[in-house]
Amino acid sequence: MKVLKIIKNGILSENPVFRLLLGLCPTLAVTTSANNAIGMGLATTFVLVMSNVIVSMIKGFIPAKVRIPAFIVVIATFVTIVQFVMAGFLPELNKSLGLFIPLIVVNCIIMGRAEAFASKNNTFLAAVDGIAMGIGFTLALTLIGGVREILGSNTFFGYLVLPQSYKPMLFFILSPGGFFTMGVLLAFFNWISSRKKEA
Amino acid sequence: MDFGRLFVIAISAIFVNNFVLARFLGICPYLGVSKKWDSALGMGIAVIFVMTLASFITWIVQHFLLAPPSGKYDLTDILQTIAFILTIAALVQFVEIVMKKAMPDLYKALGIYLPLITTNCAILGVTLLNIKNDYNLIESIVFGISAGVGFTLALLMMASIRERLESAKVPKVFKGIAIALIVAALMSLSFTGFSGLIAE
């Protein structure tokens, strides 16, 4: 039962992007297309799961005072692995995500889950939490990326949506469009949850 | 020394490629600490300070430890991320301790923002960009200062708008962060106007 609750938490009721508002930098920066969004989401999920697992394993013998630097080293190690894998197997994605791959280290979701969940729970639950939060993050990113890609370049995962004669609104793939899309989607989810409460 | 080039780096980091509004670095503090003008100013100054120091120290780490001038080895790929984030974390801790002892007044004003800075992606972003753009030591420091100034500028603008938004009639679902993001979109749109300022 607890597992189901953790999964629901990560994807819906505590969605890292739309509910906890964590990790907004990559959320806005890499969501110019659905493809980039999924790539970033999966990379973050990998780091999140692995760091949750390791942190929950070492929580017993890390003194409380140095736990934050210890967590940072664990996270940075897995980010370096991701950097190598991306550069080796997905050079194009690596190029378009660019600076934001090393910056996964400072993504507050990962540190936040290590501190708030993994350092208090057993390894299995920590792994489940990492997967659930990762899926929640990936879904949110893909949603934003999809909206921006459809409106901004008239494609979805690279496929044409409307006939070529339709002129896409460039605004949405430029930086102001990122803030705008995120703001409107956030208001939309606020609206849904406020309706649920009333009903 | 080429002052023209330094000037271009500064203008580009403050206006054209503003860290918050064009590069999306440091969004968390931009939305989190921009409710009040005073705290925004404190955060901004703390960021400028740490960014400048971090640019200086990580440049030395990169060019003397990770990839020394002798060219015997190059650990950039493997260790850069870990080395830089640890350097920044240690630096922030060090600044906190020194400030507490030597400048207690300043510590009272800025102290609470310092721990937050370690996970501010703008700091790590500056240091990584310094290396990626092949800046020399002086250019790195100038880039660090101007990135911090650009961040502070965006943060202060946001704070002054949000103080007025408090009393504005905002639709219920847009209250809080949602309307702040819309404001940020408008601000970012106006900053794209600077993009013609520098011919790449």
* Positions of chain A with pLDDT lower than 70, given as ranges: 1, 199
- Which ranges of chain B would DSSP assign to H, the alpha helix? 3-11, 27-32, 37-60, 76-102, 104-110, 114-118, 121-132, 137-165, 177-191
Whether residues A187 and B174 touch (CB distance < 8 A) is answered with yes
Shortest distance between the Cα of B167 and any Cα of chain A, in A, equals 19
Q: ipTM, 2 decimals?
A: 0.85
- When mean pLDDT is compared across A144-158, B13-27, B98-112, B137-151, the lowest value belongs to B98-112
A162 CB neighbour count, 10 Å cutoff: 11
The pair of three-digit structure tokens given for residue A137, joined into one six-digit string: 């993050």
A171 CB neighbour count, 10 Å cutoff: 17
Of B138, B123, B48, nearest in space to B90 by CA = B123
B126, B34 in Cβ contact below 8 A?
Answer: no
What percentage of chain A's residues is helix, strand, coil (to nearest 5)?
80, 0, 20
Shortest distance between the Cα of B68 and any Cα of chain A, in A, equals 21
**pLDDT tens across B32-59, in order?**
888 888 888 888 888 898 999 999 999 9
Chain A residues whose CB is inside 8 A of the B28 CB are: 22, 24-25, 108
pLDDT the model gives residue B153: 93
Sign of the dihedral through C-alpha A173, A176, A178, A184: negative
Q: How far apart are the first and last CA of chain B?
A: 20
pLDDT the model gives residue A21: 82
For chain A, which residues make up each domain, given as ranges? 2-198
pLDDT the model gives residue B200: 54
Chain B residues whose CB is inside 8 A of the A24 CB are: 27-28, 31
Whether residues B23 and A22 touch (CB distance < 8 A) is answered with no
pLDDT the model gives residue B143: 94
Minimum CA–CA partner of A179 in chain B: B185
Whether residues A190 and B184 touch (CB distance < 8 A) is answered with no
pLDDT the model gives residue B109: 72
Shortest distance between the Cα of A122 and any Cα of chain B, in A, equals 26
Substitution target from B20, B51, B82 for chain A, most A beta carbons within 10 A: B82
Whether residues B119 and A106 touch (CB distance < 8 A) is answered with yes
pLDDT the model gives residue B117: 81
Q: Is the pLDDT of residue B155 over 70?
A: yes
Chain B residues whose CB is inside 8 A of the A76 CB are: 81-82, 85-86
This prediction has a pTM of 0.88
pLDDT the model gives residue A195: 84
Kindly indicate the confidence band of residue B1, based on its pLDDT and cuts at 50, 70 and 90.
low
Give the bridge partners for A156, in sequence order.
A159
Minimum CA–CA partner of B119 in chain A: A106
**pLDDT tens across B170-182, in order?**
888 888 888 999 9
**pLDDT tens across B83-107, in order?**
998 899 888 888 888 888 888 887 8
Average pLDDT, chain B: 86
- Report the C-alpha gap between A40 and A27 in whole angstroms: 9
**pLDDT tens across B79-89, in order?**
888 899 889 98
Q: Is the pLDDT of residue B147 over 90?
A: yes
Q: Is the pLDDT of residue B197 over 80?
A: no
Q: What angle do CA A32, A37, A43 make, to 5 degrees?
A: 140
The pair of three-digit structure tokens given for residue A99, joined into one six-digit string: 């600076």
Shortest distance between the Cα of A155 and any Cα of chain B, in A, equals 23
- Report the C-alpha gap between A136 and A176 in whole angstroms: 24
